[in-house]
Amino acid sequence: MRAIGKTGIIMAAVLTAVSTQAASAASAKRESFGKLPDGTAIEAVTLTGTNGVSARIMTLGATLQSLYAPDRNGKMADITLGYDDAASYASAPNFWGQTIGRYANRIAGGRFVLDGKTYQLPLNDKTNTLHGGTVGFDKLVWKIASVTNGAQAKVVMTLTSPAGDQGYPGTLAAKVTYALDDQGALTIDFDATSDAPTIVNMTNHALFDLAGEGSATGIYGQRLTIPARRYTPVNATLIPTGELKPVAGTVFDFTKGRALSDGIRDGRDPQIVIGHGWDHNFVLDKGATPEPGLAARVEDPASGRVLEVLTTEPGVQFYSGNFLDGSLIGKSGHVYRMGDGLALEPQKFPDTPNQPAFGSARVDPGKPYHHRMIYRVSVAR
């Protein structure tokens, strides 16, 4: 047999390393995702890890359009609510996986004061502004800046919001980065810079059903944990009262885990009556942190799927899908009804610009905004 020289051994080692790296690399695929009713072309990028977890992100709203995860038997299912085509997101809009901005959640009266000047935003939630306004970031078409493969498969999307957009001051340059690794962690980075003082609070608004979207059982049999000893009660229009109320002894206590069927119909709690279920901000025990910390954990005992949500922000809005009324037909022809999905939206507290005790949502020139959150899926054995 012919001997292999030193050069041949080195080359073989290099080829083996390259082959191993390629086999373990997450991948990103860019493709068309149809058109809006006005003819605007929409693209999507699908990120796939070697463990089979995949996330599709479309340019309309920089939206997490799907997230596929395995159950304990390896069966894959899309665990996010939404539509099968881009046009439906425009013609029958809802908050299903979109990037939310400029300001996620509610601002009382659609007004805030910055440096002595009052700014008025559109009122799109009765007497309040919700999720940025009538035409928030969720309804705009973002630009794909880059797509990369590797240890993490990534897509970067950008958007410029001009001064005065929806009433907000300052021209805002926004960027969202989705990065999926091979362990089932989808990291989302929200970044923004402004040329004038403004307010920013960005998040993702995916609705999840760990049994698989459109499942017959919905979310009621699933178990939620939120490491928060306090929450922010709301008034009749879902604006925080300013109180940080202890969860102990109430149906808002998720510190040790709680089945979602336990409390969602408890009419003895006036906050459940106001929200038609849970639609409240929880004050995370960890507070705001430089690195993402746990905000929530959901487990579906039937499938074994687990979702953990991590964030650098101090709060998380838990919304139990209270306003799904069967009028919207989602993926695979599924009719979505109350309890068919839940949202866990890491954020600054609602109405922070009007409630100084909640902190600050201010962004100044030269002081960029950054929020990192993670959706991490796994299986409980």
Q: Provide the Cα torsion 201, 204, 205, 209; round to 10°.
A: -150
| Residues 247, 230 contacting (CB under 8 angstroms) | yes
Q: What is the 8-class DSSP label of residue 275?
A: H
| Residues 281, 231 contacting (CB under 8 angstroms) | yes
- Judged by DSSP in three states, 167 sits in helix
Q: Which residues pair with 63 in a beta bridge?
A: 58
Residue 126 main-chain phi, psi, to 5 deg: 60, -110
- Judged by DSSP in three states, 243 sits in coil
**Which one is catalytic: 205, 213, 299, 313?**
205
Residue labelled with tokens 């894959």: 76
| Residues 217, 89 contacting (CB under 8 angstroms) | no
Provide the CB-side half-sphere exposure for 263 (13 A, CA).
Answer: 22
Pair of tokens at residue 92: 């029958």
CA distance 184 to 100: 23
Whether 371 is catalytic is no
Query: What is the distance between the terminal CA atoms of the chain, rounded to a whole angstrom?
Result: 50
Residue labelled with tokens 């100084």: 356
Whether 299 is catalytic is no
| Residues 170, 150 contacting (CB under 8 angstroms) | no
**Which one is catalytic: 43, 213, 308, 345?**
345
**Segment holding 48, helix H or strand E:** strand 41-48
CA distance 324 to 358: 30
| Residues 345, 319 contacting (CB under 8 angstroms) | yes
Pair of tokens at residue 29: 């695929």
Is 245 buried (19+), middle (13-18) or exposed (0-12) by CB count in 10 A? middle
Which residues does the annotation mark as catalytic? 205, 345
